[in-house]
Amino acid sequence: MTFAQPDHSIDLDTLPRMPVWVTSARPETLEDVAFLSGAALNHLHLVLSRVHLPHALLRDRLALRAAVACVAFSGRPERAGELRDAVHLLRAGDLPGPAGATYLSWRRAAERPVSIKALGRALPTRETGQIAAWIDTGQGAPVSRAAMVLEAVLTEAPRAEVPALILADAALAQAFGWDHLLPLLAGGLKRADLRKRGDDLHLACHRALVASAVEAVRLAADLARRAAHLKAIAPKLRAKGASDAVEMFLTREAVVPAALPLPDRAARRLCDRLVDLGAVQELTGRETFRLYGV
């Protein structure tokens, strides 16, 4: 899932749509739910093969979704806005706090190709040997592999929900041959699901992946349209460094103006210009400490 320069001649409406029967069915048995999750994931796999998708941006947006879910699992009150602030407004030497650390783990897990080294960077409190051993517990079909890794981690470390879910998504990505982890499971599971084991956990994972694959396909189509619009208006931007700034918006879920490769005043003006052109959104609703995203 490497990001490539979009081809603006491609009609984004030709992205394959998730079949209606995947979302309308209400199956109860493990066999039926497994069939639907396979169909949903295969459809997502086809969508991800489209090179004009902003893959890094999609992963970053799904990482935020996964982090919000994990923070809720832990009983903390922070939601998406607070997680963005905790990470994007972090000053040098500051600690992100528990919720911010969760978000950073998901972002780091998704931003680099899947490897034990990359997973170790995302989960610095875990030994790489332990990470490799947990990943190796996954066997069989993709969802089974993910569920087995999830169960192995939570059995050994019941409170390690974030490492368990990151490694389960990594196992799923490896099974599908995806270069990068795509955060999926956390956004579809319920807190009670994390206490399940065996077939009950497998069933919960299949259900979660149906819901998350549907959401990922919807989000991919939305971000592809938004990214194409940003690329289309990019030639109108005359500020020095604007092209590099556009690339940042195409790869990051949220951007603080101070992070852009322009002087502070020019960066703020560029963000305001992009908002006026409908290319990015201001995400906070505040007058100061603003964040922007596609």
pLDDT at 1: 42
CB atoms within 10 A of CB 16: 13
User: Does any domain span residue 22?
Assistant: no
Same domain, 187 and 269: no
Same domain, 87 and 111: yes
Distance between CA atoms of residues 205 and 221, nearest Å: 24
Sign of CA dihedral 12, 15, 21, 25: negative
* Spacing of C-alpha 287 from chain mean position: 28
Beta bridge partners of 255: 292
25-42 core/surface letters (b: 16 or more CB in 10 A; e: else): eebeeeeebbebbbbbbe
Same domain, 126 and 155: yes
User: Does any domain span residue 1?
Assistant: no
Tens digit of each residue's pLDDT (9 = 90 or more) over 219-271? 999 999 999 999 999 998 988 889 999 999 999 999 999 999 999 999 999 99
The pTM assigned to this predicted structure is: 0.92
Same domain, 57 and 138: yes
pLDDT (tens, 9 = 90+) of the chain, 294 residues, equals 433 333 433 445 567 778 888 887 777 789 999 999 999 999 999 999 988 899 999 999 999 999 999 999 999 999 999 999 999 999 888 899 999 999 999 999 999 999 999 999 999 999 999 999 999 999 999 999 999 999 999 999 999 999 999 999 999 999 999 999 999 999 999 999 999 999 999 999 999 999 999 999 999 999 999 999 999 999 989 888 899 999 999 999 999 999 999 999 999 999 999 999 999 999 999 999 999 999
Among candidate residues 197, 224, 251, the one where a domain is terminated: 224
Same domain, 250 and 130: no
Q: Residue 260 carries which DSSP code?
A: S
Same domain, 182 and 88: yes
Q: Which residue has the tokens 């619009």?
A: 229
Among candidate residues 165, 196, 224, the one where a domain is terminated: 224
Same domain, 133 and 78: yes
Domain extent, residue 247, equals 237-293
Number of domains in the chain: 2
Same domain, 72 and 47: yes
User: Does any domain span residue 63?
Assistant: yes
- By the 8 A CB rule, do 96 and 104 touch? yes
Among candidate residues 172, 190, 224, the one where a domain is terminated: 224
Same domain, 42 and 163: yes
- By the 8 A CB rule, do 207 and 37 touch? yes
